Amino acid sequence: MIKVLVVEDSPVTREYLVALLEEDPRFQVVGTARNGLEAVEQAERLAPDVILMDVHMPLMNGYEATCRIMELVPTPIVMVSASISHDETAMAFEALKAGALTLLDKPGGPDHPDSAETVRQILETVKLMAEVKVVRRWPQRSRRPLRQAQGRPEAPAVISGRPIRLVAIGASTGGPQALAEILRGLPANLAAPILIVQHIAPGFTVGLVEWLGQATPLTVKLAEPDELARPGAVYVAPVGAQMGMAKDGRISLQQAPPEEGFCPSASYLLRSVAEGYGRSAIGVLLTGMGRDGATGLKRLREAGGITIVQDEESSVIFGMPAEAIRLRAAEHVLAPAQIAEMIGSLAGAGDRG
């Protein structure tokens, strides 16, 4: 049975979350907290397997509590936010930087139209996060130069002999942290655009764009229909649209069905890139649960593109990369800093046409 600590200042929401968890035989709510100070004390005393953490709370907010817990008793933390304000969303992403594993939308109650899906996602995420045995401190990892990373070889040298015109990246759970590390390691004059599909709860995409923009000298923006993708710019897919890339370099956003349960889908993007760019593209699949992106990455490899997946050691959840490896879709298996080094070496300045 998975022991859960629920941290939420609203009595109504706190009781609702407790009821949801206790209805499922997989979980035991071992305690509740009304603010970050109580959360730190309860985490030390109760040693939960997972913490559900609100963002905006009195006395100590969720970001501050995450920092303290990660210093004192590192524990898998799932941030739960209503995404109602810019400040709260920004704080939620800072909590990810401090060591929280993922970010979910706060349930709106049993009468909310999206209640069933939100509840399912919370329960499945709590279960998966309990299986993360090592909580990784992403900020500490990102500050270490690549060559000083313990036991980690440099990214392998790749002689492509061709211009790289596009980079496509898919990510899910743990993705924002990995994306920030990759983008931070890229040169400001990157000669190719980057397209990103990140599975994330509705309402957080704009916050993700702003947060990633602070991590890199590259321009990061939300993708728009028929927009010309420019070198050195990063385009994040909006929720509810399938993002692809036309051969003329324009971004396609389609109201197409979900793939592997996701819209946007990493497989949809990678398949589009395979069809339009083939050997002149790099495809990357990062940490995440499920299988999305694996078949699309395989299609890109078959089309001659360079394919990379995140390694198990640095992944929060190894599901998507593992599936790509199983399908023989991955040419390289690397940590985020190595991925940045490889992208920079292959799509660096000088290939602009």
The answer to whether the CB of 137 falls within 8 A of the CB of 99 is yes
Last residue of a domain, one of 139, 162, 183: 139
Partnered with residue 77 across adjacent β-strands are 51
Give CA angle at 41 (36, 43), nearest 5°.
Answer: 90
Can you give the pTM of this predicted structure? 0.88
CATH number at 274 reads 3.40.50.180
Distance CA 278, CA 192 (A): 14
Distance CA 50, CA 30 (A): 10
Note down the domain range covering 242.
149-346
Which pLDDT score is estimated for 105?
87
Q: Do 67 and 158 belong together in one domain?
A: no
CA-based R_g, the chain, Å: 20
Query: How many other C-beta atoms lie within 10 A of the C-beta of residue 334?
Result: 23
Angle of helix 175-184 relative to helix 336-346, nearest 10 degrees, comes to: 40
Which pLDDT score is estimated for 144?
37
pLDDT, tens only, 130-186: 988 655 454 444 433 333 333 444 555 455 567 899 999 999 999 999 999 999 999
302 within a domain of the structure (yes/no): yes
Distance CA 27, CA 40 (A): 21
Q: Do 161 and 120 belong together in one domain?
A: no
Query: How many other C-beta atoms lie within 10 A of the C-beta of residue 148?
Result: 8
Which pLDDT score is estimated for 136?
44
pLDDT, tens only, 108-144: 766 665 667 788 889 999 999 998 865 545 444 443 3
pLDDT exceeds 50 at position 74? yes
On average, the pLDDT of the chain sits at 89
The residue ranking higher by pLDDT, 50 or 153, is 50
Q: Which residues contact 351 (CB under 8 A, 6 or more apart)?
A: 163, 164, 165, 191, 192
Last residue of a domain, one of 119, 139, 159: 139
The answer to whether the CB of 105 falls within 8 A of the CB of 17 is no
Residue range 208-225: average pLDDT?
96
Q: Do 180 and 304 belong together in one domain?
A: yes
Q: Which residues contact 212 (CB under 8 A, 6 or more apart)?
A: 176, 179, 180, 183, 220, 234, 236
351 within a domain of the structure (yes/no): no
The answer to whether the CB of 82 falls within 8 A of the CB of 104 is no
How far out from the chain centre does Cα 207 lie?
13
Three-state DSSP state, 216: coil
The phi and psi torsions of 183 (rounded to 5 degrees) equal -65, -35
The answer to whether the CB of 313 falls within 8 A of the CB of 288 is no
How far out from the chain centre does Cα 92 lie?
13
The answer to whether the CB of 236 falls within 8 A of the CB of 222 is yes
Distance CA 201, CA 173 (A): 11
Q: Do 112 and 22 belong together in one domain?
A: yes
Q: Do 124 and 230 belong together in one domain?
A: no
The DSSP letter of residue 185 is T
Active-site residues: which are they?
172, 199, 292
Which pLDDT score is estimated for 246?
94
Residue range 42-67: average pLDDT?
96
The phi and psi torsions of 176 (rounded to 5 degrees) equal -55, -40
353 within a domain of the structure (yes/no): no
For the CA atoms of 53, 57, 58, 64, the dihedral, rounded to the nearest 10 degrees, stands at: 60
Q: Do 176 and 125 belong together in one domain?
A: no
Q: Do 131 and 189 belong together in one domain?
A: no
Query: How many distinct structural domains can be found in the chain?
Result: 2
Residue 352 pLDDT level (bands cut at 50, 70, 90) = very low
Last residue of a domain, one of 139, 163, 195: 139
Q: Do 234 and 122 belong together in one domain?
A: no
**In terms of DSSP bridges, do strands 281-285 and 233-236 run parallel, antiparallel, or are they unpaired?**
unpaired
Q: Do 289 and 328 belong together in one domain?
A: yes
pLDDT, tens only, 266-310: 999 999 999 999 999 999 999 998 999 999 999 999 999 999 999
CATH number at 76 reads 3.40.50.2300
Distance CA 228, CA 97 (A): 31
